[in-house]
């Protein structure tokens, strides 16, 4: 699939479209891949649905989601000001996330959603299990 943007420009465009503040969690996941010797991933692969990482040979798509922007219920993330604005925005993100997950699953892909909080030190062992469980298969 041809992309109208080159790689650098595409990342910049996608960063603007997607929720802000995703970059540090993506980098944390890359670090984890490297530490765990997980190879074969590609970041920001230009495929419809725009997962953060794909493993093309295993048909695995990984989305890294910020807890606030994607409505994770791991903590109280509701701001007091402009609550209507935020809940609509977060609600839209959740809908879009669901649609993207379904689209990939319908194509026979495995979808992994990595929450920001799963990259925290105390949760990392579980995350590694989750990733390896899928990627090993
Ligand atoms: Zn969370």
Residue 1, pLDDT > 70, answer no
pTM: predicted TM-score of the whole model, two decimal places:
0.79
Q: 7-136 belongs to which homologous superfamily? A: VSR Endonuclease (3.40.960.10)
Q: How many helices (H) and strands (E) does the chain have?
A: 4, 4
Q: Which residue has the tokens 């791991």?
A: 74
- Ligand 1 is a single-atom ion; what residues have CB below 5 A from it? 67, 72, 74, 115, 117
Question: What would the pLDDT profile of 33-59 be if each residue is shown by its tens digit?
Answer: 999 999 999 999 998 899 999 999 999
Of 31 and 23, which is predicted with more confidence? 31
Q: Which residues contact 45 (CB under 8 A, 6 or more apart)?
A: 51, 53, 54, 56
**pLDDT digits over 78-119, tens only?**
667 788 888 899 999 999 999 999 999 999 999 999 999 999
Give the mean model confidence (pLDDT) for residues 21-28.
83
- Lookup: tokens for 30: 């890359």
Distance (Å, whole) CA 60 – CA 104: 9
Structure confidence at residue 43 (pLDDT): 96
pLDDT band at 20 (very low <50, low <70, confident <90, very high): very low
128 close to 32: Cβ distance less than 8 angstroms: yes
Residue 132: is its pLDDT beyond 60? yes
What order of strands is seen across the sheet that includes strand 53-55? 42-43, 53-55, 60-65, 110-115
Compute the distance from residue 115 Cα to the ligand 1 centre, in Å. 5
Q: Convert 39-79 into a string of H (helix), E (strand) and C (coil).
A: CCCEECCCCCCCCCEEEHHHCEEEEEECCCCCCCCCCCCCC
113 Cα–ligand 1 center, Å: 11
Distance 3 CA to ligand 1 centre (A): 32
- Both tokens of 39, joined, read 């190879």
Res 5 pLDDT > 70 = no
| Whether residue 19 has pLDDT greater than 50 | no
């Amino acid at each position: 699939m041809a992309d109208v943007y080159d790689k650098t420009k595409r990342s910049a465009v996608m960063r603007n479209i997607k929720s802000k503040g995703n970059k540090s969690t993506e980098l944390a996941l890359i670090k984890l891949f490297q530490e765990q010797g997980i190879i074969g991933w590609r970041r920001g692969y230009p495929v419809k649905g725009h997962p953060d990482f794909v493993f093309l040979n295993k048909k695995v798509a990984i989305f890294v989601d910020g807890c606030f922007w994607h409505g994770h219920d791991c903590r109280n993330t509701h701001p007091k000001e402009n609550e209507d604005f935020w809940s609509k925005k977060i609600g839209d993100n959740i809908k879009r996330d669901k649609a993207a997950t379904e689209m990939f699953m319908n194509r026979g892909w495995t979808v992994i959603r990595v929450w920001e909080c799963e990259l925290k030190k105390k949760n990392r062992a579980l995350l590694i299990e989750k990733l390896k469980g899928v990627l090993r298969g």
